[in-house]
Structure 1
Amino acid sequence: MRDFTQLLIVTALLWFFMLLNALAAEPTTFKVQIENISSPDGQTASNGSKWPFALSPGIWVVHDKDVKLFTTDKKDSGMGLEAQAEDGNPAVLAKSLEGHKGVMSFGVFNTPVGADKPGPIIPGGSYVFTFTATPGERLSFALMFGQSNDLFYSPKEEGIKLFNEVGTPTGGDITSKVILWDAGTEVNQEPGIGSDQAPRQKAPNIGTSEGKTVRAIKDVKDGFAYPKVKDVMRVTISPVSVPVQ
């Protein structure tokens, strides 16, 4: 009888741990909102003119720890970051992510909330996207600083952890994890008034090539002033569907 009882206990424990593993593998649905909270009065250039701060369409990707959209202090790898950073075009980068090892899912966000067609977000506008993920996975995204030559907003290259060590999903304001980067592919001009920046440039990809590495803008020292991330954008993430434990 004792052996039978022990067998029952062992069997019950095995089923219990199998259930825990199954629950852990159930994906959590997340919603991310990226808001343009810059002043509707615009930014002020060195010549006194005003220009509106805008954020371009972008890309998001759920991935493992080995996938990176870029590497700090390395030149652009040619996956499509240049098109994203210079022209706000995520299509090339999205194409490169198809079938990429370590990429669980990805997508493009390009239509502002309340709009019926793709476009940038101006002050008061926002993008929203959703995705599913399981513990151990990370989130990366990239979108262009609109009136720049090749600047983009993104978390650090390793991405944002979507769960903590015990499997609790990440939630709340994650703006502090977002950095303004220089892709190093085009020579910088003063933001908002440069002739090779949208909407003044005559065509995409016509600025002077630079051939430098990807760096945080704070390390570039180009002599221009850039708004703090927290003053122009807000990024929040919400777990909207969590597996029942």
Structure 2
Amino acid sequence: MTDDSTPTNSTRTNSTLTSRRTVLTGIAATLSTATVVGAQETTTEEGETTTGDETTTEAETTTERGETRTFEVRIVNISGPNALTPEDGEPGPVVLSPGAYAVHTPAVQLFAPGESASAGLEALAEDGDPTTLGEEVTGADGILESGAFDTPIAGGEPGPIGPGSAYGFRFEAAPGERLSFATMFVPSNDLFFAPGPQGIELFRNGDAVSGEVTEQVALWDAGTEQNEEPGTGPNQAPRQSGPDTGPDEDAPVRRIEEVDDGYEYPSVSDSIQVLVVPEGGDLGGQTTAEGETTTGAGGTTTTTN
């Protein structure tokens, strides 16, 4: 996390439950199944709100943020079962890993294009483990809230998600604040989906944004491990022998379009859909590459003729 200013407050944190080994173990199962998802949220006696295994805890506020709004986010895997068509392997879907998010001031960046990835971003981009990245942003200057998402919104075990499934979380933000997140493009060596380093603007002209923000999301190469053909590389999950394996690459973080590795990658818009709405807003339905429409990022799935 980089910061061009020196804000003094960090008002929210939450923990992640996923280890690098756990994520890698879950990927093989995800590749063979797809889950229909539906939101599950509870409120504890201490005032914590949980979504699946995502927990946000209120902490003491040290500076004025202005009036906040509660937002809900859905990160939906809309890829088809044959999104990847490698020359030297079987077709397969895009799989998304657990990820980390942060609400921050405009001066803060989750990563900096053209510079080396942090240890946390490397762990997420190579092995789908958001633990270290979450620790890096929690409590950092300019971070107003941070956390991890690791469980499909229908519930179940923490882990990666395949086509038709979604992650969800909620947070509070005030005008001027932005949202950043990162989730691994699993059939790769070190690629991840994320907004640009400036994050997603949550208010425009004082009004809360509401709707799809996928156009602000890109596929990035962390530059920490040499790329192999997506979905076939021996150093990619679930084929790799363990976490943090594969030849190192000393390259900066870049958009995948700027990487000349000779491989083809599915488009962002055919892989992932991201919706941000104020609490109580319409999360709508999403259409997968196979013509299926999901309602509210899950719950029911119908086929469009």
| TM-score greater than 0.5 by the shorter chain | yes
Matches within 5 A, 1:6-25: 25=66
**CA distance in structure 2 between the aligned counterparts of 1:68 and 1:48, rounded to whole angstroms:** 37
Report the equivalent of 1:87: 127
Report the equivalent of 2:230: 191
Secondary structure in 2 matching 1:47: coil
User: Pick from 82, 95, 120: which aligns with 1:54?
Assistant: 95
User: Pick from 88, 101, 123: which aligns with 2:141?
Assistant: 101
Report the equivalent of 2:192: 152
**CA distance in structure 1 between the aligned counterparts of 2:269 and 2:155, rounded to whole angstroms:** 24
**CA distance in structure 2 between the aligned counterparts of 1:96 and 1:81, rounded to whole angstroms:** 9
Report the equivalent of 2:213: 174
Letter in 2 for 1:236: L
Secondary structure in 2 matching 1:44: coil
1:123 counterpart = 2:163: yes
Per-residue deviation at 1:69? Answer: 1.3
Asked whether the 8 Å contact 2:89–2:232 carries over to 1, the reply is no
Report the equivalent of 2:77: 36
TM-score computed with the length of structure 1 as normaliser: 0.85
**Deviation sequence 1:70-94 (CA, Å, 0-9, x none):** 101111133x100010001000011
5+ long unaligned stretches in structure 1: 1-23
Per-residue deviation at 1:126? Answer: 0.5
**Deviation sequence 1:75-133 (CA, Å, 0-9, x none):** 1133x100010001000011111220000001100001213210111011100110000
1:27 counterpart = 2:27: no
Per-residue deviation at 1:41? Answer: 4.0
Letter in 1 for 2:263: F
Letter in 1 for 2:77: N
More helix by share: 1
Letter in 1 for 2:155: A
Report the equivalent of 2:174: 134
**CA distance in structure 1 between the aligned counterparts of 2:118 and 2:86, rounded to whole angstroms:** 32
**CA distance in structure 1 between the aligned counterparts of 2:97 and 2:240, rounded to whole angstroms:** 15
**CA distance in structure 2 between the aligned counterparts of 1:138 and 1:187, rounded to whole angstroms:** 31
**CA distance in structure 2 between the aligned counterparts of 1:26 and 1:150, rounded to whole angstroms:** 38
5+ long unaligned stretches in structure 2: 1-64, 282-305
Secondary structure in 2 matching 1:86: helix
Percent identity between the two aligned chains: 48
Check 1:42–1:229 CA distance in 2 against 1; reply closer, same or farther (3 A cut): closer
Asked whether the 8 Å contact 1:28–1:241 carries over to 2, the reply is no
Check 1:193–1:48 CA distance in 2 against 1; reply closer, same or farther (3 A cut): closer
**CA distance in structure 2 between the aligned counterparts of 1:98 and 1:168, rounded to whole angstroms:** 27
Letter in 1 for 2:217: V
Letter in 1 for 2:94: F
**CA distance in structure 2 between the aligned counterparts of 1:225 and 1:189, rounded to whole angstroms:** 11
**CA distance in structure 2 between the aligned counterparts of 1:175 and 1:226, rounded to whole angstroms:** 17
